[in-house]
Each structure stands twice: as C-alpha cells, then as structure tokens.
Amino acid sequence: MTRKFDFLVIGSGIAGISFALKACRYGKVALLSKSSLDNSNTAYAQGGIAAVTYSPDSFEKHIADTLNAGDGHCDLAAVEKVIKEAPEQIDELLSWGIDFDRDEKGKFDLHKEGGHSEFRILHHKDNTGFEIQQALIRKLRSEKNIEVFENYFAIEILTQHHLGEVVTMHTPNIECYGAYVLNQETNHIHTFLSKVTLLATGGIGSVYATTTNPDVATGDGIAMVHRARGVISDMEFVQFHPTALYHPGERPTFLITEAIRGYGAVLRTQDGREFMHKYDERGSLAPRDIVARAIDNEMKTRGHDYVFLDVTHKDAKETKKHFPNIYKKCLELGVDITKDYIPVSPTQHYLCGGIAVDLNARSSINRLYAAGECSCTGLHGANRLASNSLIEAIVYADAAVKDAVKYIGTYTWNELIPDWDDEGTKLPEEMVLITQSFREVEQIMSTYVGIVRSNLRLKRAMSRLEILFKETEDLFDRSVVSRELCELRNVISVAYLIIKHALRRKESRGLHYTVDYPKRMNRGEYRE
C-alpha cells in the first residue's frame, strides 16, 4: 500500500507536467491525475500565452499592463519574475515540440487581449491549451524516471497531524510527507511518501453553477492545504470571463476567446448598440473585471440573459483562419460568426487566489510547493491579465524544481505514517444526496457570491453553506471514501474560503465588487 518517490506531483496540467519533466533529472517522480491526463484547465486554454517577444513590446510594458489589471494588489517581485523569465520558458516549451502560429516570414503571429497594450500573445490557432497539453503528455510518456498514475485521486496531504500530533495554523514547521491517494479503479487508498510534494491541482470552477472549467476543477489542493492548516490567500478574487458562449445547459461553458476582441470584435446589447465606451475608454478591450461588470449591469438593467459579440465586420476568411474552433462550434449551434452576432454572457473562469507561495513556489508548509492556478503568487493581484496564467504556471513550476533540488538531499521519507484508517465506515446510504449537496453549493455561490456582492448576500451564503458543511463532515466521518464525497468536501471548503475572504474585504477592488463598499481604499486605509 505504501509507495516511495523523491517527488510527488499532484496534477497533470501545465504546472504539474512541466515540473515533472524537470524534476525527473534529479530523482524519481510520481505524477497523479484524478482523471485522464488530458482532463485539465490547461487543455481548454484558447487565447494563448503572454510573453514579450518583439519590439516595440518590452518587459516594462508587460509589467505595467499586469499591474494595471491587478488593480493595485499585485506583488511587484512576482510580476517582474514571471515577465522577465517568460521568454526562457517559452524556449523550453518550443524545445518540447509545442507549435505556436507564425506568419509567412517565420515570425510569431501575436494576438492581443483585454488590458494588453501590445500584441504579445503566442498562440496555436484558438486552441493553444490543447496543443500544449498534448505536447507535454508526449514528452512525459518518454521519460523513464516519471511514473504516471491516471485516475488516482489525492485525498489528503500528510503532515504531523497523521502522526497523531495536534497541528494548528500556529504550529511552526508543519511538514508535508506525501499524500493519501485513492486508486479509483480498485478503491484502495495508498500512502504515497515523498521527499518533496508539488500541488498543481488547478482551478475551482465546479464551485459555481456555470464555468468554463472542466469538472476536475474542484479546488482539491486548496482545500487540502486549508485542512492541513497552511496559508490560503486572496480567495475573494474570482475571475468571471466576460464572453462565454450563451448556451444554457452546456457544462463546461464554451469560451469565446478574448483574442477575438483583440482582433476587432465588439460587444453590443441585444438591440445592436455598442456599450463598452460608457464604462471604459478602452471599450471592448478593457480588462476583464471591468468588461464582465459592464455586461452584468447591461443584462440586469435590461432583463436580458446575454449580450452580443459582433465580428461580422471582419474579413470572413481571416476570421475562420484565426478562430477555426470557435467558428465550428458556433456553426453547430446555428450561428455563423462571419454573418451573425454571437450570444455571450459572463461565466466563472479563473481564481486569482489560492495556496500562498513565495518566489520559490514554497507554500507555508515545509517540503510542499504549489504552482499554477491552485497557487497564489501575487502575480495577478485583484484581477488577472488575460493569458498570464499559463506562463505563471510554467515559471513557478520551474522555480519549484530549482528550489527543491537544493534541499532534497536533506529530506528522508517519513516511514511512521500509518495506513489510511477506514475502520467502522460504510458505503453512504444515499449517493444521490452527495450530488444534491454539490448542486446546492453551486447555486449558493452563483446566486450570492458572483460578480456583484453585498454583506447581506455573503452572510446568507455563509449560513446556507454551514448546514452543508456539517452534513458533509458527518457523512465523511462515517463513510467509505469516494472521489465524489471528497470533491464535495473540497468545494465546500473552497466556497467557505471565498466567502470568508470576501466578507473580510471592506472595499471594492479588481474582481471583488461589493455594493456596501463600492470604493477602493488607499493602501494605508485597508485592514484585513
């Protein structure tokens, strides 16, 4: 039941796989994915990956755009790190066989998205993430020092708590020794002991009723660290993408990339009027928080469920060439984007907060690193600049390897960790209640903790969630563990953290907008 590795990687998106590909030069790696390897947010990325490539772009401009989108809440050191290290990491991706579009002269064909002052998005048509995910998996399969565990679900990270010690958030030197992991084919729970563990568990979209994220996005890493008493930051900053395709019932919601607005598409109300200039001089290309709030306002004041995105004025051949998947998807639903307006509405898309890490991707728990969407590096601040997350994931995964190899020689496996104890547990009588509780969490979060918030809504969400929390913890204590039950626990923890951090922030900033405190405070005025 016990497996031992130098590095344990939990997650098979860009953060997890790129870490594994580098760490395997220094030791044996186990890489876990709770689903198939290619089921990740990474595989869904459309627009591309932001990096400074050619003049007139510059590090200074990319840094300024990131800070501006982040609304005064970014960590400058993290911003400088990601943007300055991006070109080197892009070269690494190219060396792994990832193909970005180029023009006839062989220069990269760069796209532009909201909040970017220059064309700087490297992309592979309109399905960049799929191209990256496939190339990473090909490379992963060729590495002998990496053992891949598909359909293995990490339940808990192991700490002194599992040795019977009392661990609180004030315990100095909490240490991570690996994880308890459920093999979903055999239902056995294995102990994976590691010298170093990386959490790369991705997003939290499943906490909301509509999201662009696939169903694996249940915030497991964040919930595990929260239960292990590690530090979680900035959870109130949930990003809603302004332009998800309006097609009720489809999950995940299909994204209409922001790059299409960089290409010239404009937002219109249902009566065909442009409205974004009422809200921001950058119009349809303002940063995401501003555009999503503007659309939300237009929809609410008019009683509409969607607005339109119009790209009909652009050359039809060029549109099909740049956005072939969006063209195909919309056509299947009867919308020819070269002739018809596209119905769109804002949808949960990304989380800026997560497991707090330093510039070396170290979490507050020793021997535990985090990278990618589950982490909070300080790069995005209160609102992520489009296409800054894939690059953040690979830069911080690289930082984690570089830091971990300095210390790994001093770590040993903690062989005192006991096997998972499931004595006295039985199968839950009514599985249907787990599904029902899941739906309730999504409804609570979408109704009360969306784009526009208030104290009343947040408090109501919290009291509804408390009931679900008590019921679920009780069920967990007496039940045989299943992935469904663990994911329910995790989405409840994530929802709790979002509400708690939102209630704490007595101002509006970036993605957190509350009618009770509509203004942004000055730095000195804000107290947590």
Q: Which is nearer to ligand FAD, 160 or 239 (CB)?
A: 239
Report in angstroms how near the CB of residue 178 gets to ligand SIN at its nearest: 32
Residue 233 found at the interface with ligand SIN (CB under 6 A):
no
Q: Which stretch binds ligand SIN (CB under 6 A): 88-96, 198-206, 218-226, 256-264?
A: 256-264
Q: Which is nearer to ligand SIN, 98 or 365 (CB)?
A: 98
Q: How far is CA 488 from CA 33, 204, 322, 439, 484, in A?
A: 18, 12, 39, 10, 6
Report in angstroms how near the CB of residue 359 gets to ligand SIN at its nearest: 22
Q: Minimal CA–CA distance to 344: which of 294, 383, 394, 301?
A: 294
Helix segments in 205-344, DSSP class H: 220-227, 259-262, 288-302, 316-322, 324-332
Q: What is the DSSP letter of 112?
A: -
Helix (H, G, I), strand (E, B) or coil at 184: coil
The Cα angle at residue 29 between residues 2 and 149, in degrees rounded to 5: 65
- Residues from 387 through 416 that contact ligand FAD (CB under 6 A): 387-390, 393
Per-residue binding string, ligand SIN, 372-411, x by CB under 6 A, is --------------xx-x----------------------
Query: Residues 288, 10, 219, 73: is their CA dihedral positive or negative?
Result: negative
* Amino acid letter, residue 425: T
Q: How many amino acids of this chain bind ligand FAD (CB under 6 A)?
A: 43
Q: Which is nearer to ligand FAD, 29 or 458 (CB)?
A: 29
Q: Which is nearer to ligand FAD, 12 or 493 (CB)?
A: 12
Q: What is the dihedral of CA 58, 63, 65, 67, to 10 degrees?
A: -170
- Residues from 10 through 49 that contact ligand SIN (CB under 6 A): 46-47
Q: Which is nearer to ligand SIN, 258 or 310 (CB)?
A: 258
Cα within 13 Å of Cα(304), Cβ side: 19
Q: Figure out which of the listed residues 108, 237, 306, 350 binds ligand FAD, where binding follows CB under 6 A.
A: 350
Per-residue binding string, ligand FAD, 86-125, x by CB under 6 A, is ----------------------------------------
Residue 381 contact partner, candidates ligand FAD, ligand SIN, none, CB within 5 to 8 A by sort of partner: none
- Specify whether the CB–CB gap between 230 and 159 falls below 8 A: no
- Residues from 180 through 219 that contact ligand SIN (CB under 6 A): none
Q: How far is CA 183 from CA 179, 187, 297, 485, 519, in A?
A: 12, 5, 46, 15, 49
Q: Figure out which of the listed residues 115, 178, 202, 381 binds ligand FAD, where binding follows CB under 6 A.
A: 202
Q: Which is nearer to ligand SIN, 242 or 378 (CB)?
A: 242
Which residues, in sequence order, are CB contacts of 327 under 8 Å at separation 6+? 319, 320, 337, 338
Helix segments in 219-323, DSSP class H: 220-227, 259-262, 288-302, 316-322
Residue 288 annotated to the active site: yes
- Specify whether the CB–CB gap between 347 and 241 falls below 8 A: yes
- Residues from 46 through 65 that contact ligand FAD (CB under 6 A): 46-49
Name the catalytic one among 120, 288, 457, 520.
Answer: 288
Report in angstroms how near the CB of residue 244 gets to ligand FAD at its nearest: 8
CA R_g for the chain? 22
Q: Which stretch binds ligand SIN (CB under 6 A): 83-91, 168-176, 178-186, 255-263?
A: 255-263
* Amino acid letter, residue 240: F
Catalytic residues: 288
Residues engaged in binding ligand FAD (CB under 6 A): 10-16, 32-35, 39-42, 44-49, 128-129, 153-154, 200-203, 212-213, 216, 220, 255, 350, 372-374, 387-390, 393
Contact set with ligand SIN (CB under 6 A) = 46-47, 255, 257-259, 350, 386-387, 389
